[in-house]
A and B are shown apart, each in its own frame.
Chain A
Amino acid sequence: MEIIQGLLIILLSFWMVIDQQGLVIVTWFPIMVALFAGLIMGDMQTAMVIGGTFQLMALGVANIGGSSVPNWGLAALVGIYVAIRTTNNIEEAKAVALAVGVPVGMLGIQLDVLAKILNSYVAQAAQKALNERKFKKMNHILMVGPLIFGLSTAIPTALCVIFGDKIVNVILDVVPQWFTDGLSIAGNMLPVVGIALLLQVMPAKKYLTMLIIGFIFSAYLKMPIFGISLLGFALAYYFFTTNMKKSVASVNNESVDFDEGDEFDE
């Protein structure tokens, strides 16, 4: 059973990177990886808590324009596997997942860069095959690309599956309580990094009102996130319809005055 779980986790890590860069169904977003890892490991609750923590760290991390970012999906995956194998309660699981996941996620950057460098050779070889009129060969060469990307996550995952839980078990026996507590505290604070990064790429200053509205409904009124999303959708819909009308009207008549007390007006 443990061997099958280990194999499935490695396969999932192979697929998630190819999927994220291609079809985008499973994706490498931590909470989605956690969904499948939870199914494989048979412990959805722990997987979701760890996935949620890494998901929040990953919020502002978009790999736009082919830039390389920490692979928080990989971090969540190996974190979940090792934590479920070695711990018995959620707080400890979070601490272990963080201790194993963060370094592996960082390593993910290097391997991503390496994969993109190796793919230069794949591209050149494929184009060479084309010019030699070996069309079948060209197609086969092109398939090496996804293989490289898949291995770039499957290899570190395999190492964690084979050695990770043994090492962590030894460590857990010797580290003091304050250390695992400290890691748990870090796990609760790190989502801030994701949120802060996100605020840099979104128009946070322009729509500070929305940020505060969301905060008030959550902090003071304790509204669940689904309700707040609906509220956000309502505001967005209002914004969209009024601005679409404006842009249509301004095309028709430049001199119309639009001062209708619209709070989104800049």
Chain B
Amino acid sequence: MSNEELVLTKKDINKAAIRYMFSACNIFNYQTQQGPAIVFGLEKSLRKIYPDDDDYVASLNNHYKYFNTTTWMANIILGASLAMEEKDGTDSLETVQAFKTGMMGPLAGIGDTLIWVLYPTIMGSIAAYMGLEGNPTGAIIWLLFNIFFVFFRIKLFSIGYDSGLKLITSLGDKLSVFTEAASVMGLTVVGALIPSVVKINTGIVFKTGDVEMPIQTEILDKIMPALLPVALTILIYKIIANKKMSVTSIIFLVIGISLVLSFFGVLTV
């Protein structure tokens, strides 16, 4: 069946966007990953495109197939898919499937870095640092950004619907420079985190005759501020890079060593 006239309204598009954004990874399973979530998101709009039951079932079965990418970026892909199906009906199903599988890899590469690594790193570092002082301002700012991004992502869905593939290819180059720039900012913040949030104090005091010399304030702090946190960061970085120990066992190791060193008074709060 082929539809010459557009049947979807702005409202349908936004509804599909919100339904997909709600389900995103919430029906995630190991076989088809985000497939069912896409069906949940798009099915109301697809029903309007395909009044005929057979076409509708064929289209949904197509969307049940494996799909996995950064959920925020998926909005562009799904908006574009919807536009294709609206234009060509069931004739478009193969193209839609090829388009979806072709785009999900590259978009996940950039999207995961930007959205699941850099964004929470920068916002999380600021919010956590303020949080350690009992101050919720950083968390509130992060919350406001999230609310802004919800509207932005609804917009992304309609941008995908309006311009689809064209947009993704033209953004390609810019996005990778943008990702690098965000890494620059992220690493500056991370560099600041090590001395400000990691606190390690040794309680050892050197005694020679009448002279007492607390190692922490008289020696370590004079060499470099936050010497022990830097040393520990480098050590753990090496251990993780070595890949012989899982992160879980590293965490329990740190807790275990803390308890032992606390017992002997080597480290103090």
Residues of B within 8 A of A88 (CB): none
When the two chains form the complex, which single residue of A22, A31, A61, A102 contacts B24, counting CB atoms closer than 8 Å?
A22
Contact B30 A49 (CB under 8 A): no
Q: Mark A19-62, 1 if CB is under 8 A from B, else 0.
A: 00111111101111011001000001110110111011111011
Contact A49/B134 with A185-B269, A195-B194 known, Cβ cut-off 8 Å = yes
A261 at the B interface (CB under 8 A): no
Answer whether residue A232 sits at the interface, using C-beta atoms and an 8 A cutoff.
yes
Contact of B193 among A120, A191, A223, A244 (CB under 8 A): A191
Residues in chain B near residue A258, CB distance under 8 A: none
**Which of B23, B140, B229 is in CB contact (< 8 Å) with A35?**
B140
Given the complex of chains A and B, what is the CA–CA distance between A149 and B29 in angstroms? 11
The answer on a CB contact under 8 Å between B193 and A189 is no
Q: In the assembled complex, how far is the CB of residue B199 from the closest CB belonging to chain A, in whole angstroms? A: 4
Does B126 contact A226, Cβ atoms closer than 8 Å? yes
Cβ of B68 under 8 Å from chain A: yes
Measured between C-beta atoms, what is the minimum distance from A223 to chain B in Å? 8
B204 at the interface (CB under 8 A from A): no
Q: Does B248 contact A (CB under 8 A)?
A: yes
Residues of B within 8 A of A31 (CB): 124, 127-128, 131, 138-139, 142
Residues of B194-213 whose CB lies within 8 A of A: 194-200
CA distance A38 to B26 in the complex (A): 26
Contact status B183-A202, CB under 8 Å? yes
Across the interface, A25 reaches (CB within 8 A) one of B131, B150, B233, namely: B150
Binding site for A on B (CB under 8 A): 21-33, 35-37, 39-40, 43, 47, 53, 56-57, 60-61, 64, 68, 71-72, 108, 112, 116-118, 120-122, 124-136, 138-140, 142-143, 146-147, 149-150, 173-174, 177-178, 180-200, 224-226, 229-230, 232-233, 236-237, 239-241, 247-248, 250-251, 254-255, 258-263, 267-269
Instruction: Closest B residue to A186 by CB, please name it.
Output: B258
Closest B residue to A32 by beta carbon equals B139
Q: Told that A34-B131, A145-B23, A240-B177 touch, could you supply 12 new A-B pairs with CB distance under 8 A?
A: A22-B22, A22-B24, A48-B132, A51-B139, A56-B125, A64-B112, A126-B36, A130-B61, A145-B28, A146-B22, A212-B191, A215-B195
State how many angstroms separate the Cβ of B103 from the closest Cβ of chain A.
16
Q: Residue A236 contacts which of B47, B182, B233 (CB distance < 8 angstroms)?
A: B182
Return A117 CB to nearest CB of chain B, in Å. 7
Q: A196 touching B267 by the CB < 8 A rule?
A: no
Query: Which listed residue, B25, B140, B181, touches A21 by the CB 8 Å rule?
Result: B25
> In the complex where A66-B33, A181-B268 touch, is A197 in contact with B247 (Cβ < 8 A)?
yes
Known: A219-B225, A233-B185, A235-B184. A199 touches B23 (CB 8 A): no
Bits for A172-208, please: 1 = Cβ < 8 Å to B, else 0: 0000001101111110111111011111111110010
With both chains docked as a complex, state the minimum distance between the C-beta of B123 and any C-beta of chain A, in angstroms: 8
Which A residues lie within 8 Å of B230 (CB)?
215
Please provide the 10 A-B residue pairs with the shortest distance between their CB atoms, ordered closest to farther: A214-B191, A52-B131, A145-B27, A232-B188, A182-B262, A182-B259, A219-B195, A218-B192, A186-B258, A21-B25
- By a CB distance below 8 angstroms, the chain A residues around B269 are 91, 181, 184-185, 188
A52-97 contacts to B (CB < 8 Å): 52-53, 55-59, 61-66, 70, 91
Instruction: Assess whether B268 is in contact with A34, with CB atoms less than 8 Å apart.
Output: no
Bound CA span A207–B118, Å: 14
Which residues of chain A are within 8 angstroms of B120 by Cβ–Cβ distance? 29, 59, 62
| 16 pairs, CB–CB < 8 Å, chain A vs chain B | A21-B26, A34-B131, A59-B190, A62-B112, A70-B247, A70-B248, A106-B248, A131-B57, A149-B26, A193-B247, A193-B254, A201-B117, A215-B226, A225-B192, A232-B185, A236-B181
B30 touching A117 by the CB < 8 A rule?
yes
CA A184 to CA B199, docked complex, whole Å: 10
Q: How far is the CA of A189 from the CA of B150 in the complex (A)?
A: 35
* Chain B neighbourhood of A218, CB < 8 A: 191-196
Residue of B nearest to A121 (CB): B29
Decide if B136 touches A38 in the complex (CB within 8 Å).
Answer: yes
Cα distance, A188 to B178, chains bound together (Å): 33
Chain B, residue nearest A44 (CB): B136
The residue among B118, B125, B147 with the most chain A CB atoms within 10 A of its own CB is B125
B136-A229 in contact (CB<8A): no
Known: A145-B36, A178-B263, A211-B191. A189 touches B241 (CB 8 A): no
CB of A127 closer than 8 Å to a CB of B: yes
Of B121, B193, B196, the most chain A CB neighbours within 10 A belong to B193
Question: Complex Cα distance A183/B269, Å?
Answer: 9
